[in-house]
């Protein structure tokens, strides 16, 4: 499969006047993201996730190593061209609104990219329909719920027809329902349009849905793997301060209590099924 993004031994330190040896916020990070993948990046506070996101979109440039997008090394010269093929959604939807209505807001970036008016109107409608906000064209963004705001922010990104969608804690300010709405939307978009998604999240339940998970710790990549591979190392994840998904925690506790359980249980459904079929129905 085609490569969309690669980090090649990337390091970055924030400069602080007083510090002689600044601490590396991102330290020798390498990984590759292929077309069509959904990648979750997880890690405790301060492990370098947002810094990685800023390096991916050219808000920061690495001190060492290369960031390659669409098989091209990102430089100050090609950054705008590269960025035009990416959509970003960040944590706080309120800081992302610029338009006075939902449709103006989604149109904003298109206008900046010089998309002709007719096409802009079509794309705005399409994108808002994709996120199920087609009935809210003339609503004021500030009066929407958190989940609706994040869906409008995603529509703004989608209207650009990006090859890559990068989200940094896009669901973290939402309640469980809003979070589910956004996650389900991303799943659907991925399935329908083959969009490549990189999602930074604290929520390991959300990370379970990704194709691969990158675990960050102290600026470095601790491990990369499928959700099965990653959660097989549950203890290690807890040691670096991550909250395991509920079903995994419960099955770990049941094992400690001496219950004989097969395999890993990533979802509550899997756990309930095994408990039911192999323990309670005997
Ligand atoms: N603008 C900045 N100036 C100086 N240091 C910074 C700046 N932004 C982040 N850092 C430091 O860089 C390190 C990595 O921060 P980063 O924001 O990338 O972590 P994160 O994994 O996104 O954390 P969180 O989960 O809290 O969002 C931290 O030690 C942080 O204090
Ligand atoms: Mg962050």
Q: Residue 261 belongs to what domain range?
A: 245-282
For residue 45, report the distance from its CA to the centre of ligand 1, in Å. Answer: 8
One domain, residues 15 and 50: yes
In a 3-state reduction of DSSP, which class is residue 16? coil
One domain, residues 265 and 224: no
Instruction: Express each pLDDT in 209-221 by its tens digit.
Output: 899 999 999 999 9
Residue 7 confidence (pLDDT) above 80: yes
Is 24 touching ligand 1 by the criterion CB < 6 Å?
Answer: no
Rounded Cα–Cα distance for residues 259 and 280 (Å)? 12
Rounded Cα–Cα distance for residues 43 and 217 (Å)? 6
One domain, residues 72 and 144: yes
Which ligand 1 atom is nearest residue 23's CA? 29
38-42, 72-76, 217-221, 235-239: least confidently modelled range? 235-239
Residue 94 confidence (pLDDT) above 80: no
Q: Which of 50, 204, 243 for a ligand 1 pocket mutation test, highest count of atoms within 8 Å of Cβ?
A: 50
Q: Which of 10, 12, 46 for a ligand 1 pocket mutation test, highest count of atoms within 8 Å of Cβ?
A: 46
What band does 29 get if pLDDT is binned at 50, 70 and 90? very high
For the chain, the average pLDDT equals 88
One domain, residues 124 and 260: no
Q: What is residue 178's predicted lDDT score, i.e. its pLDDT?
A: 77
Which ligand 1 atom is nearest residue 48's CA? 18
SS3 of 80-131: the string is HHHHCCEEEECCCHHHHCCCCCHHHHHHHHHHHCCCCHHHHHHHHHHHHHHC
What band does 122 get if pLDDT is binned at 50, 70 and 90? very high
Is 95 touching ligand 1 by the criterion CB < 6 Å?
Answer: no
Which carries the bigger pLDDT value, residue 48 or residue 276? 48
Is 199 touching ligand 1 by the criterion CB < 6 Å?
Answer: no
Specify the CATH number for the domain of residue 188.
3.40.50.300
One domain, residues 61 and 91: yes
Residue 11 confidence (pLDDT) above 80: yes
One domain, residues 129 and 48: yes
Residue 103 confidence (pLDDT) above 90: yes
For residue 204, report the distance from its CA to the centre of ligand 1, in Å. Answer: 20
Which carries the bigger pLDDT value, residue 181 or residue 59? 59
Which ligand 1 atom is nearest residue 202's CA? 25
What is the average per-residue pLDDT within 162-180? 86
One domain, residues 129 and 230: yes
Nearest ligand, measured from the Cα of 13: 1
How many structural domains does the chain have? 2
Which ligand 1 atom is nearest residue 53's CA? 18
Of 247, 246, 244, 264, whose CA–CA distance to 204 is shortest?
A: 244
Which carries the bigger pLDDT value, residue 185 or residue 54? 54
For residue 235, report the distance from its CA to the centre of ligand 2, in Å. Answer: 23
For residue 198, report the distance from its CA to the centre of ligand 1, in Å. Answer: 18
One domain, residues 226 and 119: yes
Q: What is residue 264's predicted lDDT score, i.e. its pLDDT?
A: 67
One domain, residues 21 and 151: yes
Which carries the bigger pLDDT value, residue 208 or residue 244? 208
Residue 267 confidence (pLDDT) above 80: no
Is 201 touching ligand 1 by the criterion CB < 6 Å?
Answer: no
What band does 282 get if pLDDT is binned at 50, 70 and 90? low
Handedness of CA 11, 15, 16, 18 (dihedral sign): positive
Crossing angle of the two packed helices 146-158 and 176-193, in degrees rounded to 10: 20
Whose CA is closest to atom 18 on ligand 1? 48
Rounded Cα–Cα distance for residues 252 and 265 (Å)? 9
One domain, residues 50 and 182: yes
Which ligand 1 atom is nearest residue 16's CA? 4
What is the average per-residue pLDDT within 246-254? 78
One domain, residues 75 and 141: yes
Whose CA is closest to atom 7 on ligand 1? 14
What is the average per-residue pLDDT within 255-275? 77
- Does residue 95 contact residue 131 with C-beta atoms inside 8 Å? no
One domain, residues 189 and 281: no
Residue 273 confidence (pLDDT) above 90: no
């Amino acid at each position: 499969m085609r490569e969309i993004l690669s980090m090649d031994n990337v390091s970055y330190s924030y400069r602080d006047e007083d510090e002689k040896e600044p601490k590396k916020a991102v330290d020798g990070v390498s990984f590759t993201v292929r077309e069509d993948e959904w990648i979750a990046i997880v890690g405790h506070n301060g492990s370098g996730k947002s810094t990685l996101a800023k390096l991916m979109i050219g808000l920061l440039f690495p001190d060492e190593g290369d960031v390659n997008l669409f098989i091209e090394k990102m430089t100050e010269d090609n950054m705008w061209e590269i960025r035009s093929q990416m959509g970003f959604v960040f944590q706080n939807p309120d800081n992302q609104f610029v338009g006075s209505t939902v449709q103006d807001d989604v149109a904003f970036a298109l206008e900046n990219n010089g998309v002709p008016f007719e096409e802009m109107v079509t794309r705005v409608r399409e994108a808002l329909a994709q996120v199920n906000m087609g009935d809210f064209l003339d609503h004021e963004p500030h009066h929407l719920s958190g989940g609706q705001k994040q869906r409008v922010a995603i529509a703004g990104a989608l209207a650009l027809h990006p090859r890559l969608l990068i989200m940094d804690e896009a669901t973290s300010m939402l309640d469980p329902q809003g979070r589910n709405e956004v996650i389900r939307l991303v799943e659907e978009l991925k399935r329908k349009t083959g969009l490549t998604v990189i999602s930074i999240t604290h929520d390991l339940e959300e990370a379970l849905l990704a194709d691969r998970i990158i675990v960050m710790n102290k600026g470095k990549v601790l491990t990369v793997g499928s959700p099965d591979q990653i959660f097989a190392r549950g203890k290690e994840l807890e040691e670096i301060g991550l909250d395991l998904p509920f079903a995994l925690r419960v099955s770990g506790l049941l094992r400690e209590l001496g219950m004989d359980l097969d395999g890993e249980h990533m979802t509550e459904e899997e756990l309930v099924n095994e408990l039911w079929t192999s323990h309670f129905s005997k």
